[in-house]
Amino acid sequence: MSEYKSILSSSCPMPKLDFEIITMGHGSGGLLTHKLLDAGVFDVLSNEYLDKQHDGAVFEVTPGKMAFTTDSYVVSPIFFPGGNIGELAINGTVNDLCMCGAKAAFISLSFIIEEGLRVSDFWEILLHIKQAADHAGVKIVTGDTKVVERGKGDKIFINTSGVGKVHPKADISVDRIKTGDKVIISNDIARHGIAIMSVREGLEFESDIESDTCHFNTIIEQLLEDFGKGIHFLRDATRGGLSTILNEVSKSLLKGIAIHQKDIVVDESVAGACELLGLDPLYVANEGVFVAFVEASIADQVVQKLKNWENGIHAAVIGEVIDGHPGQVVLHSQIGGRRVVNMLVGEQLPRIC
């Protein structure tokens, strides 16, 4: 089984504190709260906005459309192969803005911590938050910290909000999808959900299965700059996986979507794990994969651009929007058969983000 990889090191050591676990006092707003924030949050995430330690952040915005999003993260376990709840929160918030055609710029960050969380675990999460924010080019400008009694939470929950400037060439809306549009997936699917399940179930595989969590800030900006309004719709394939997105679009437009199994890449180890667990990869969550509906004339160029991106090696055109079977997604199998891919009923993998 792949293991979580810590980034704690001598180059970024945990500060010496007179406490090893977080207690109710750390959420009181008093001395313990200030010790936790000053020695951890404010130091690690320091920037000109957060350093003011005010109730909010004030910043200049240039003329044009802005995008705003909010999200909460309750993933269990909080450390998993390929990441942890901290970087997942940053990447997820950035990516929600990207799917609106925006480049994420500012993020708020709030922690709800269960009494008893080890300070070393909190420090590890902070370092990953810092690393993810730096990599995506975003700044954490405001936030909050609360502590709840032991047994009233599950180690740590994170809430975020994000703001970003919409690209001037972006016009992203489900209403812009039309018959003949190609459906593109940015990479192979189902890695994040299976990485989480591998830890929960104690599964071991011949090769490591790690979460695909990553940010889209740079690649989406490049795609919009190059292809502009030829990109009709974007959506990240998180909870419910690829099938959920396609069904939502199909039912919203009352158009059919045909997809081709041979073009949808699933890692061999991931496919084996899905078979073992009785899961369909089409429904398994991703945290570093998005779906794009684009003009047919630019589809191959978009795929090539994605393949040149480090997180888009397996990008492909996997289908098209059609007038037939309105409101349904139909999979063309590798052996020549066809089946309807229905909307997921219930929760296949709870608390994966």
Q: Per-residue confidence of the chain (353 residues) as pLDDT tens digits? A: 456 667 655 556 777 777 889 999 888 888 888 888 887 899 899 999 999 999 999 988 888 999 999 999 999 999 999 999 999 999 999 999 999 999 999 999 999 999 999 999 999 999 999 999 999 999 999 999 999 999 999 999 999 999 999 999 999 999 999 999 999 999 999 999 999 988 887 777 766 899 999 999 999 999 999 999 999 999 999 999 999 999 999 999 999 999 999 999 999 999 999 998 889 999 999 999 999 999 999 999 999 999 999 999 999 999 999 999 999 999 999 999 999 999 887 767 788 89
- Would 347 be classed as within a structural domain? no
Backbone angles phi, psi at 241, to 5 degrees: 65, -165
Question: Residue 217 is part of which domain span?
Answer: 174-341
Model pLDDT, residue 1: 44
Model pLDDT, residue 342: 94
Burial class (CB in 10 A: 0-12, 13-18, 19+), 151: exposed
- Would 206 be classed as within a structural domain? yes
225 and 279 housed in the same domain? yes
- Read off the pTM: 0.94
- Would 315 be classed as within a structural domain? yes
136 and 226 housed in the same domain? no
**Where residue 306 sits, what CATH number does that domain have?**
3.90.650.10
Model pLDDT, residue 8: 59
Model pLDDT, residue 69: 98
How many structural domains does the chain have?
2
Model pLDDT, residue 4: 64
- Would 266 be classed as within a structural domain? yes
Model pLDDT, residue 16: 73
Query: Of 115, 133, 166, which residue constitutes the final position of a domain?
Result: 166
Model pLDDT, residue 199: 87
Query: Of 148, 166, 184, which residue constitutes the final position of a domain?
Result: 166
Query: Of 110, 141, 166, which residue constitutes the final position of a domain?
Result: 166
229 and 298 housed in the same domain? yes
Quick one: tokens of 131? 């690393």
331 and 182 housed in the same domain? yes
**Where residue 47 sits, what CATH number does that domain have?**
3.30.1330.10
Q: Which residues pair with 21 in a beta bridge?
A: 118
CB atoms within 10 A of CB 39: 16
Place of tokens 């400037």: 165
240 and 208 housed in the same domain? yes
- Would 5 be classed as within a structural domain? no
Model pLDDT, residue 31: 86
Give the span between the Cα atoms of 262 and 124, in whole angstroms. Answer: 40
156 and 206 housed in the same domain? no
Quick one: tokens of 7? 């980034």
Model pLDDT, residue 198: 86
- Would 184 be classed as within a structural domain? yes
- Would 10 be classed as within a structural domain? no
